[in-house]
C-alpha cells in the first residue's frame, strides 16, 4: 500500500504523505520558504479558521454552496479551531506571495478534514475543493489581513494586562514610599530633592499613556477588509455576501468587527500596523528608560549611586564573589532593542507596498507577533521578579 497520495496542479505532480491534511500548495510553500524553524502562530491559525467559517456561512446564506458541503466545511473549521491540527501548518510564516501559501495551507487542511467528515478520501477535491469551496468568494488579500487583525486583537489583550499591572505596581509603590526622599538628578548630577513616590508616579503616568495608545490602535483593528477579495472591488462575490460575512465573523469571534468603508484602502494600506508598531516601540522605549533608571539607582553604594537595592535574582559573576547584577532591568533593555528592530522592519515593509496591494504583510505579522509576545512575557517577569520583589530604598 502506498504511504502517499499524488496531487497535481498546472506546474507538476507532488507526492503528499497519505496521512497529511495539507496538500500540494502547502508542500510547495514549505519547499520555497523553509528558511527557519519558525511556525505560523497558533492564534493566527485560529483566527484564519474563524474567517473561513464566516465565509462558508455567508456563502450558504447567499445560496452559493450546497448545504452538505457547507456543513462539512463548518464542521472541519470547528475541529481546527481547537488547535488539534496546528501541526498540519507547514509553511514558514515569512513567505512570498502576501500570505497566499498560508491561506492555501488553511484551505487544504479544512478541505481534507471536511472530506473525511463526509466519508471521502483526502485529496478528493472534486467533492470539496480547497479553492472551489473553502476559498469561495475570497482572496488571500482580504482574508489574510482580516485574520491578522483578529489575531493581533487577541494577542494585545495579555500585553495590555501585563502593562497595566506594571503601571499599577508603580502606583502602589509610589504611595508606599511617597515620603521617602532621594536626590533628584539632571545630567546625572545632583539637582534638587524629590521623593521616590513622585519618581514612581511619573513612571506610572507614562505607562498609562502607553496603555491608552496601544488600546486606541487595538480598537482600529476591528475594522477589516473582508469581502473585498483581490483589490477591494468585491470581485466574485454575491450582492449581500459582504453583509453576511461580517455578521458571521462578529458572531464567531465575539469581536465587534466592522467592514472597511473603503475596501481598497483596507487591502492596500497598512498604516494600522505601523501605528501599532510605533505604539509598541514608544512603550518599550519608556520601559527601557525606567529599567535603566533602576539599574543606575541600584548601582552599588560604595562605587555607584546606591539610592536603591534591587532584590538579587542570581549570581552576577563567574569570578567575583557576592556580585549581583540588575538582570531583570537588563532584560527589559534588550527587549526594547529587539522591538525597535522589528519596528524598522515593519516600516520598510509598509514602504514596500505597491499599487493595490502590500505583499509584505507576512513579515509585518511575524514582527508584530514577536514584539507583542516578548514584551508581554518580559513585563510579567519584570513585574514579578523586580518591581514586586523587595526593593530597598536608601534615603539621603
Reply yes or no on whether 317 is catalytic. yes
Whole-model pTM: value is 0.96
Rounded CA-CA distance 65/306 in Å is 71
Report, at the CATH architecture level, how domain 4-136 is classified. Orthogonal Bundle (1.10)
Identify the H or E element spanning 74.
helix 67-81
Q: Are the CB atoms for 346 and 358 separated by under 8 Å?
A: no
Helix axis angle, 271-297 relative to 361-382, nearest 10°?
30
CA-angle at 290, arms to 288 and 292, nearest 5°: 70
The pLDDT tens digits of the residues spanning 243-275 come to 999 999 999 999 999 999 999 999 999 999 999
Q: Which three cell numbers stand for residue 215?
A: 488600546
Catalytic residue, candidates 36, 84, 220, 317: 317
Rounded CA-CA distance 109/214 in Å is 34
In this predicted structure, the answer to whether residue 101 has a pLDDT above a threshold of 70 is yes
Distances (CA, A) of 80 to 153, 270, 286, 342: 20, 28, 39, 30
135: number of Cβ within 10 Å = 22
Rounded CA-CA distance 337/287 in Å is 11
Report, at the CATH architecture level, how domain 143-393 is classified. Up-down Bundle (1.20)
The pLDDT tens digits of the residues spanning 71-91 come to 999 999 999 999 999 999 999
CA-angle at 107, arms to 63 and 13, nearest 5°: 120
In this predicted structure, the answer to whether residue 165 has a pLDDT above a threshold of 70 is yes
**Residue 178 confidence class, pLDDT cut points 50, 70, 90:** confident
Beta strand 13-17 with 181-186 is unpaired
Q: Is 97 left (phi over 0), alpha (psi -120 to 50) or beta?
A: left
The pLDDT tens digits of the residues spanning 111-145 come to 999 999 999 999 999 999 999 999 999 999 999 99
The pLDDT tens digits of the residues spanning 23-39 come to 999 999 999 999 999 99
In terms of Cβ atoms closer than 10 Å to its own Cβ (0-12, 13-18, 19+), residue 91 is: buried
Q: Are the CB atoms for 275 and 152 separated by under 8 Å?
A: no
The pLDDT tens digits of the residues spanning 285-342 come to 999 999 999 999 999 888 889 999 999 999 888 898 888 899 999 999 999 999 999 9
Q: Are the CB atoms for 47 and 253 separated by under 8 Å?
A: yes
Rounded CA-CA distance 105/134 in Å is 11
Rounded CA-CA distance 170/207 in Å is 9
Rounded CA-CA distance 319/330 in Å is 20
In terms of Cβ atoms closer than 10 Å to its own Cβ (0-12, 13-18, 19+), residue 75 is: middle
Domain ranges across the chain: 4-136, 143-393
Amino acid at each position: 500500500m502506498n504511504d502517499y497520495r499524488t496531487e497535481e496542479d498546472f506546474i507538476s505532480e507532488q507526492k503528499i504523505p497519505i496521512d497529511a491534511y495539507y496538500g500540494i500548495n502547502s508542500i510547495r510553500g514549505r519547499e520555497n520558504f523553509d528558511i527557519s524553524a519558525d511556525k505560523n502562530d497558533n492564534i493566527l491559525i485560529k483566527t484564519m479558521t474563524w474567517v473561513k467559517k464566516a465565509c462558508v456561512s455567508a456563502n450558504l446564506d447567499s445560496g452559493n454552496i450546497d448545504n452538505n458541503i457547507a456543513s462539512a466545511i463548518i464542521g472541519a473549521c470547528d475541529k481546527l479551531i481547537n488547535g488539534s491540527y496546528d501541526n498540519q501548518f507547514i509553511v514558514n510564516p515569512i513567505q512570498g506571495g502576501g500570505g497566499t501559501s498560508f491561506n492555501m495551507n488553511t484551505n487544504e487542511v479544512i478541505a481534507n478534514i471536511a472530506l473525511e467528515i463526509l466519508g471521502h478520501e483526502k485529496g478528493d477535491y472534486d467533492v470539496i475543493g480547497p479553492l472551489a469551496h473553502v476559498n469561495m468568494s475570497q482572496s488571500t488579500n482580504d482574508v489574510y489581513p482580516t485574520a491578522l487583525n483578529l489575531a493581533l486583537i487577541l494577542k494585545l489583550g495579555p500585553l495590555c494586562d501585563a502593562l497595566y499591572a506594571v503601571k499599577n505596581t508603580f502606583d502602589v509603590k509610589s504611595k508606599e514610599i511617597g515620603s521617602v526622599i532621594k536626590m533628584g538628578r539632571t545630567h546625572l548630577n545632583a539637582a534638587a530633592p524629590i521623593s521616590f513616590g513622585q519618581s514612581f508616579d511619573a513612571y506610572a503616568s507614562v505607562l498609562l499613556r502607553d496603555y491608552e495608545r496601544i488600546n486606541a490602535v487595538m480598537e482600529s483593528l476591528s475594522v477589516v477588509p473582508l469581502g473585498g477579495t483581490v483589490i477591494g472591488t468585491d470581485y466574485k462575490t454575491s450582492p449581500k455576501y459582504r453583509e453576511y460575512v461580517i455578521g458571521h465573523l462578529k458572531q464567531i469571534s465575539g469581536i465587534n468587527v466592522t467592514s472597511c468603508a473603503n475596501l481598497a484602502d483596507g487591502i492596500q494600506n497598512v498604516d494600522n500596523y505601523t501605528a501599532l508598531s510605533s505604539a509598541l516601540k514608544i512603550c518599550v522605549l519608556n520601559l527601557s528608560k525606567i529599567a535603566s533608571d533602576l539599574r543606575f539607582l541600584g548601582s552599588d553604594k560604595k562605587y555607584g549611586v546606591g539610592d536603591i537595592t534591587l532584590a538579587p535574582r542570581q549570581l552576577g559573576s563567574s569570578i567575583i564573589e557576592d556580585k549581583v547584577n540588575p538582570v531583570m532591568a537588563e532584560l527589559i533593555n534588550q527587549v526594547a532593542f529587539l522591538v525597535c528592530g522589528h519596528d524598522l522592519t515593519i516600516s520598510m515593509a509598509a514602504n514596500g507596498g505597491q499599487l493595490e496591494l502590500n505583499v509584505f504583510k507576512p513579515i509585518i505579522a511575524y514582527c508584530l507577533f514577536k514584539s507583542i509576545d516578548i514584551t508581554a512575557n518580559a513585563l510579567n517577569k519584570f513585574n514579578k521578579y523586580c518591581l514586586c520583589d523587595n526593593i530597598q530604598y536608601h534615603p539621603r
